[in-house]
Structure 1
Amino acid sequence: MGGAAYGMLFVLGVVMGVVGGFTHPVGQAGPVPVAAVCWVLALFGVCLGAGRLMRTRLGVVAPALGWLLVTMPFTLQLGSGDLVIAQGAAGYVYLYGGLVALVAAFLMSPSSHRGGSWLLHGYVPKDS
């Protein structure tokens, strides 16, 4: 049962990567790439929610891997000069903001030891 849930989270990450990769430059409010910011927040929410619902950091890793496996090739320029995630504010916010969102969701999600993440509960040193 758990393997199917992780597989679906991976597929969700792939879908978010494909749709977000093509739609992140769409909305702009002046210099702010609104669509890219929304995709970063959605990625953070999905990954953090998956980690908390699965009660393990592997819940964060599954959609993160799906998103990364799609997003990283989108940054490569093809021989014909085509590029999905281009340079510019929207591309940088989507790519680097997404990476920061993944790391933040991973660090804020419950770990499998001592009842959760040290970021959420504070550092508790081991007794000597």
Structure 2
Amino acid sequence: MNPADRGGPLLAQPLRPPSAGRFAAYLGLFVLGAVVAVAGALVQPAWFPGGLLLALAGAAGLFLGGARAVRSRAGAVAPAAGWMVAVVLLTASRPEGDFLFAAGGGSYLFLLGGMALAVICATLGPGRQPDGADVRHGK
């Protein structure tokens, strides 16, 4: 008998470690996030403001697509983490004086806009829902 039928609280399902396939999907999304960050860093200053919008649209598509593909919010967090790591590594200047991001408004919009999109897409991703035929989803 279901505890909810007796008036008792529903017990939350314990978290399980991800399967090997899900872990591989998260790792692939992490790497894809880094690739999108590098591509966006190269495109965003080229055709301002169109390049900036294109770079942010690519990042948003990856974040939201990852959440939908894996059917969890972690699907948006994995590419966002890869995006953040790549962007932070690209902002560091080298001893030779080379850098990829100039100190301009477009670069700051790319950095802050990408972070905001990561939070928005992770929030829009589907949360944990119980499975089974006797589960009532909120309507």
TM category, shorter: 0.7 to 0.9
Query: Secondary structure in 2 aligned to 1:70?
Result: helix
Query: Secondary structure in 1 aligned to 2:86?
Result: helix
Whole-angstrom CA distance in 2 between matches of 1:85 and 1:36:
13
Instruction: Give the total of aligned pairs.
Output: 112
CA deviation vs aligned residue, 1:100-122 (integer Å, no higher than 9, x gap): 1101101111111469xxxxxxx
TM-score for the superposition, normalised by structure 1? 0.78
Whole-angstrom CA distance in 1 between matches of 2:96 and 2:28:
34
Tell me which of 38, 44, 68 is aligned to 1:52: 68
| Identity in percent | 33
Map 1:1-128 onto structure 2 (within 5 A): 1-28=21-48, 33-113=49-129
CA deviation vs aligned residue, 1:76-121 (integer Å, no higher than 9, x gap): 2333332211111220121111111101101111111469xxxxxx
Whole-angstrom CA distance in 2 between matches of 1:64 and 1:113:
23
Q: What's the offset of the Cα at 1:37?
A: 1.5
Query: Secondary structure in 1 aligned to 2:112?
Result: helix
Query: Secondary structure in 2 aligned to 1:77?
Result: coil
TM-score for the superposition, normalised by structure 2? 0.72
- Higher percent of residues as helix: 1
The higher radius of gyration belongs to 2
Query: Secondary structure in 1 aligned to 2:38?
Result: helix
Query: Secondary structure in 2 aligned to 1:47?
Result: helix
Which has the bigger relative contact order, CA under 8 A and spacing at least 6? 1
Point out where structure 2 has 5 or more consecutive residues left out of the alignment: 1-20, 132-137
Whole-angstrom CA distance in 2 between matches of 1:87 and 1:10:
27
